Structure 1
Amino acid sequence: MTMNRRSLLGAAGLALGAPVVTVAQAAEVAQAPHKEALKAPPPPPVTKILAEFIHDSSYDGLPDNVRREGVRSFLNWVGVAIGGSHHETVDIAVSALQPFSGPPQASLFGRTERFDIMNAAFLNGVASHIFDFDDTHLKTIIHPAGPVASAILAHAEMKPVSGKDFLDALVVGIEVECRIGNVVYPNHYDAGWHITGTCGPFGAAAAVSKLMGLSVEQTIYALGLAASQPVGLRESFGSMTKSFNPGRAAANGLFAAILASKGFTSSEKMIEVRRGWAQTISTKQDWSQITEGLGTRYESALNTYKPFACGIVMHPAIDAAIQIRDGEHVKPEDIKSVDLKVHPLVLESTGKTAPKTGLEGKFSIYHAVAVAFVEGAGGEKQFSDRAVKDPRVLALRAKVNPVVTPGVDPAQVDMVVTLNDGRTIHRHIDHAIGSVEKPMTDAQLDAKFRDLADGILPAAQATRVLTLCRSLPDLKDAGEVARAGVQGA
């Protein structure tokens, strides 16, 4: 069958008699969305600015409150990594990767296997995030420690470093990671990216570059290589892949720094230019979030730690439910309905109405509120496969009614519980426990650590690891923490 000229043009989408579009005109149309960006002043050289900050940082230059929060971030991360070390997700990953691992250079918390540092960074990163119980930088919802600590602790086992140098690298990595996140949040996150996975490689690369003593130029290359390795989509939430993202971010950042240390080059403006990281994966870029107060104001001082093992936007509702349950002595069977006024992000991120697994329950506001009323807690046991199938939780879950309400902040919830006898109980939460405004105490963090280690490490061993974490700045060899945390140590 032959095609005449009219049919051919029609198949090509060209109408006869329509103006002919030249290559130059087509290029002009393609460039139209970028014209406004081209009119804007050029961005500052933030890749170089960050590299110089990383290179020049020192433990002695860190404010006391930043050092303290760095230690708390590390302790919390070690606890969740131990707690998650025997989750099915980690078992699968260990089994899959073990035949391909290089030399046994680094430890896995809570286990006996040893891996090469790239795989160890990945696996500890997965373990530390699988419970969704790790730290949170609330301005961006980044979980900062996972990618950074996983990478530098693996490296520190291969090439020992002091606790002070380790803590400096940890703080620097978290700072870089969170400031880059500030540049693009929330547009980047709203587009569907898992921001811990996309910003995590920068934090890991920065921290490892610091530990390795890379030059400014090498650190620029490391950041450029990290920019080429964003990982993670929000569609993965509720599955094993969510924890894959910070694990992969740790390995990617470590990979970037090691390559850069040997002179593997990158663009020197990989973060800021039009076809670079920030302008490619986000419609918003606020460069001042990197430059303002760099080295004097620390994002790591704003890190927070979860009392509840689930998505952070559900914490106000869990807090309110537990307060009503315990304070008003409300039993689940007495409840007719639970009405919540929430921010849109609550239903967008945690709107699973019928979770089938514990991982899915971590992203269900319905389950979170129901289990908080039934069990009076929101720890890992409340987000298990057992909990999401509990008949009492299932019955109450159907009575939870979240409504997106204008004016409600992501950190807030307004809850009204209607009882079967007609009474109503109201609770409004502005800031849940675990927030910057109501932080977990050291004692609460220690208790969380012990609870996570229970059943994995003997109590005496857990205490030793906790003590090592608390005394991190005084350690001659930071890798001692990793070795102390293996099963049977």
Structure 2
Amino acid sequence: MQTDTVSMRHAVAIAAIPAGDIPETARQMARFSLFDWLVCGRAGASEPVAGIVRDMIEEEGGKPVAGVFGTALRVPPRAAALANGTISHALDYDDTHFAHVGHLSVGVYPAALAVGEAVGAPASDIVDAFLLGAEAACRLGMVLGRGHYLKGFHQTATAGAFGATVAAGRLYGLTDEEMRNALSLVATRASGLKSQFGTMGKPFNAGIAASNGVEAAALARRGFVSADDGFAAPQGFHPTHSDDAPVLSAWDHMPPARFVFEEIQYKLHACCHGTHAMIEALLAAKRTRRISPNAVEEIDLTVNPRWLRVCDIKKPRTGLEAKFSYAVLAGMVMNDIATGADDSYTEAVCVDPAVNAIARRVVVEGDEAISDTDTIARIRLADGETVETRHDLSDRLEPEALERGLRAKATTLLGEETADRLWQAVASVGDRSAHDLGALLRS
């Protein structure tokens, strides 16, 4: 077996894992992601980018098959995937996987649900298709490695497109050969740049991942033939999108024995996930010692260097950019401005004198020895004392604590009644259909 066929072969194998072999622990996390995705999509449905993308797909029209967040409109699966991926990532409040280096639910669930509605699948099949698609996206993201991300590619859209293809293809019932064609074909479609961060282009990256996956699977289903290996063969996706050798250890300990997806992290703050460890560290310091913002002389942060290109905007101008600014977010935390409420992120917070008094004192340094999920903060006070604090997001919450956090987040965004209704719907997903899930996008 040549190395340039390994990734394609394993991705196809993940897509074909029998439902009976999927462990309940992995399914539980997939259900958490479904709930969180629905919450983020419902909450983002009134954002300007949501209206723009809905207007476009409504104007184009087509067969009324699948639902869209925030409207009674029904559109073709590919259009629904584009809209729902974009809308659900509009607030940048959705889950993150640090090994994959991207957001999984917003790129994969829209493809799974759109195709699930098209074929009349049970809701439980949507969850399984998402889980396997997300796992494939994680593993392929790991194969692409750090070099791909640091080069400027947004893996939510790149590796995510392959995951969306697995999810869509499984629900379409593709054969192994058709799945290989679909995955090879989406390699020529997968795209997404980090230069879009802080703009409407970032959530659009999630939408195109989902849409590309539906398109590739739908074409392969009709007999479309692609290259033998569009991912790793010469001039394929990996050789053209990364300067590093493929990380083939990503395929060690394959599912169903181990699901890398289970390491998924959920946002409890409405900003870039790379800043969450800092926020938790500063909050922990404030819980153990009352710190007046006026007493702060300097805040020194140590993070993994990859975040310096993502969430270290020194002087953000908009609410979106504030979500990618260690400095402004530190100022918000120290001034007790809620980071979990999306309406905290405005142009006004970027110029708030109290926030900026702290922001000007924030120094961020990168250290390769620290993990992606970890942050060390040293708060130097006017009296000469230094308060050191640290938080690592990889310290996983127990399911009960995670449920509490996600439901509290949903209540903040949508109100208690809607949050409870969505939770109950996901908890009873085994008794529901794809159409039932589609109805939750708008009511």
Q: Normalised by the shorter chain, which TM-score bucket?
A: over 0.9
Counterpart for residue 475 of structure 1:
431
Counterpart for residue 117 of structure 1:
77
Aligned residues of 1:174 and 1:300 also touching (Cα < 8 A): yes
Counterpart for residue 290 of structure 2:
329
Amino acid at match of 1:93: V
Question: What is the CA distance between 1:260 and its match in structure 2?
Answer: 0.6
Question: What is the CA distance between 1:268 and its match in structure 2?
Answer: 2.2
Tell me the secondary structure at the aligned position of residue 73 of structure 1: helix
Counterpart for residue 359 of structure 1:
320
Counterpart for residue 422 of structure 2:
465
1:302 and 1:209 mapped to 2: Cα distance? 24
Aligned residues of 2:12 and 2:180 also touching (Cα < 8 A): yes
2:375 paired with 1:416: no
2:396 paired with 1:437: yes
Question: What is the CA distance between 1:70 and its match in structure 2?
Answer: 1.1
Counterpart for residue 108 of structure 1:
68
1:467 and 1:246 mapped to 2: Cα distance? 26
Counterpart for residue 11 of structure 1:
none
Going from structure 1 to structure 2, the CA distance change for 1:336 and 1:291 (only over 3 Å counts) comes to closer
Which of 382, 387, 406 is the equivalent residue of 1:425? Answer: 387
Question: What is the CA distance between 1:325 and its match in structure 2?
Answer: 2.5
2:413 and 2:190 mapped to 1: Cα distance? 30
Tell me the secondary structure at the aligned position of residue 192 of structure 2: coil
Gaps of 5+ in 2: none
Bigger drift between 244-253 and 281-290 goes to 281-290
Counterpart for residue 61 of structure 1:
21
Question: What is the CA distance between 1:360 and its match in structure 2?
Answer: 0.6
Aligned residues of 2:65 and 2:77 also touching (Cα < 8 A): yes
Question: What is the CA distance between 1:406 and its match in structure 2?
Answer: 5.7
Which of 187, 204, 215 is the equivalent residue of 1:255? Answer: 215
1:339 and 1:272 mapped to 2: Cα distance? 41
Counterpart for residue 388 of structure 1:
350
Aligned residues of 2:4 and 2:229 also touching (Cα < 8 A): no
Gaps of 5+ in 1: 1-39
1:172 and 1:341 mapped to 2: Cα distance? 35
2:406 paired with 1:449: no
TM-score, L = length of structure 1: 0.85
Please give the per-residue CA displacement for 1:417-460, whole angstroms capped at 9, x wherever unaligned: 2233333322123x13xx35346511111111222223xxxx43
Amino acid at match of 1:88: P
Counterpart for residue 366 of structure 2:
404
1:117 and 1:372 mapped to 2: Cα distance? 41
Question: What is the CA distance between 1:41 and its match in structure 2?
Answer: 6.1
2:240 paired with 1:284: no
Aligned residues of 1:105 and 1:117 also touching (Cα < 8 A): yes
2:115 paired with 1:168: no
Counterpart for residue 86 of structure 2:
126
Going from structure 1 to structure 2, the CA distance change for 1:250 and 1:463 (only over 3 Å counts) comes to same
Amino acid at match of 2:192: G
Aligned residues of 2:115 and 2:172 also touching (Cα < 8 A): no
Tell me the secondary structure at the aligned position of residue 330 of structure 1: coil
Counterpart for residue 310 of structure 1:
271
Amino acid at match of 2:174: L
Question: What is the CA distance between 1:303 and its match in structure 2?
Answer: 1.2
Amino acid at match of 2:133: G
Structure 1 residue ranges, 4+ long, deviating more than 6 angstroms after superposition? none
Counterpart for residue 335 of structure 2:
374
Amino acid at match of 1:482: G
Question: What is the CA distance between 1:337 and its match in structure 2?
Answer: 2.0
